[in-house]
């Protein structure tokens, strides 16, 4: 009874199977570095026990349109470095068991489902997906009421100057415990209003935002245990111990790492 399927480093493999009808007990599918796979077998939606799909390094994979996904028990959906992957599964908002969603360095034309993401998510990571980021902002991060971990890499989001975006009045989910923001080339400041309800936020990482100058107000950072700043020269200067303009906001945080140094 096959419960886990793992394919690793198979550069000439083009097809796994025609369908999954013989493997209905599968709980996990992991595919890594299979450059020529263009699609997954039909019948994914019949795998009612499937809990996890991870696909990394499959640049020929375009979408899951030919293979609908099961909506009942799927908890993890992770797509990494699949440069031509351009469409999330249809009706992903109906995946009520989904807890972890990662879309990392896929096609920058990938679109966002109008219905939004499942509000059951506890972890969300998005990189190199400007259209998804823009739509998420408009849809509202605050709808993800169970979200604990948020990681956003802002490649292609050159118009973003604040996080959250102040003009839209966006607030972040109060459930968040960890936020990582990186690679926003024109980000200038962190909007305090967006952080005002984050009373359980423990970790904040800000990396490679060269124009960022300021953090949220101190009252929004009181719960932090750890702050990491890397590749943010203006913010680094502002956070200089004892003398920087931002130092008073972070002096209470037990672990502060700037360019990897405490």
d(Cα 195, Cα 183) in Å, to the nearest integer? 20
Higher-pLDDT residue of 21 and 103 is 103
In this model, does residue 67 exceed pLDDT 70? no
Cα separation, 256 vs 217, whole angstroms: 16
Query: What is the tens place of the pLDDT at every residue in 220-244?
Result: 999 999 999 999 999 999 999 888 9
Mean pLDDT of the chain: 90
pLDDT of 101 reads: 95
| Spans of all domains in the chain | 1-121, 149-262
Q: Can you tell me which residue has the tokens 């604990």?
A: 148
How far apart CA 209 and CA 254 sit, in angstroms, is 23
215 burial (CB, 10 Å; 0-12 / 13-18 / 19+) is: buried
Q: Are residues 203 and 226 in contact, defined by beta-carbon separation less than 8 angstroms?
A: yes
pLDDT digits (tens, 9 = 90+) for 70-97: 778 999 999 999 999 888 877 788 888 9
Return phi, psi of residue 136, to 5°: -60, -40
As a whole number of angstroms, the distance between CA 83 and CA 120 comes to 27
For residue 169, pLDDT over 60 is answered with no
Angle at alpha carbon of residue 103, lines to 73 and 230, rounded to 5°:
130
Name the strand (E) or helix (H) holding 133: helix 130-139
Confidence tier at 171 by pLDDT (50, 70, 90): confident
User: Of the given ranges (15-19, 106-110, 132-136, 213-217), which has the lowest mean pLDDT?
Assistant: 15-19
Q: What is the pTM of this model?
A: 0.92
Instruction: Note whether 194 and 168 are within 8 A (CB).
Output: no
Q: Are 46 and 67 in contact (CB under 8 A)?
A: no
């Amino acid at each position: 009874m096959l419960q886990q399927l793992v394919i690793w480093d198979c550069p000439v493999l083009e097809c796994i199977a025609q369908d999954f009808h013989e493997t209905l007990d599968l709980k996990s599918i992991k595919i890594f570095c299979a450059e020529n796979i263009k699609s997954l077998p039909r019948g994914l939606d019949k795998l009612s026990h499937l809990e996890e799909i991870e696909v990394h390094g499959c640049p020929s994979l375009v979408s899951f349109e030919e293979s609908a996904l099961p909506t009942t028990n799927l908890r993890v959906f992770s797509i990494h470095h699949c440069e031509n992957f351009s469409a999330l599964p249809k009706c992903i908002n109906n995946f009520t068991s989904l807890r972890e969603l990662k879309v990392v360095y896929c096609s920058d034309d990938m679109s966002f489902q109008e219905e939004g993401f499942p509000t059951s998510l506890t972890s969300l990571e998005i990189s190199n997906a400007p259209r998804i980021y823009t739509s998420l902002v408009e849809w509202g991060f605050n709808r993800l009421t169970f979200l604990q971990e948020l990681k956003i890499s802002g490649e292609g989001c050159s118009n973003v100057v604040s996080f959250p975006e102040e003009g839209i009045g966006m607030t972040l989910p109060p459930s968040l415990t960890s936020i990582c923001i990186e690679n926003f080339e024109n980000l200038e400041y962190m909007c305090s209003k967006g952080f005002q309800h984050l009373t359980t936020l423990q970790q904040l990482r800000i990396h490679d935002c060269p124009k960022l100058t300021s953090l949220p107000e101190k009252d929004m950072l009181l719960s932090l245990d750890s702050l990491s700043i890397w590749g943010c020269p203006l913010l680094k200067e502002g956070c200089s111990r004892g003398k920087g303009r931002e130092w008073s906001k972070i002096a209470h945080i037990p672990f502060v790492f700037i360019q990897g140094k405490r």
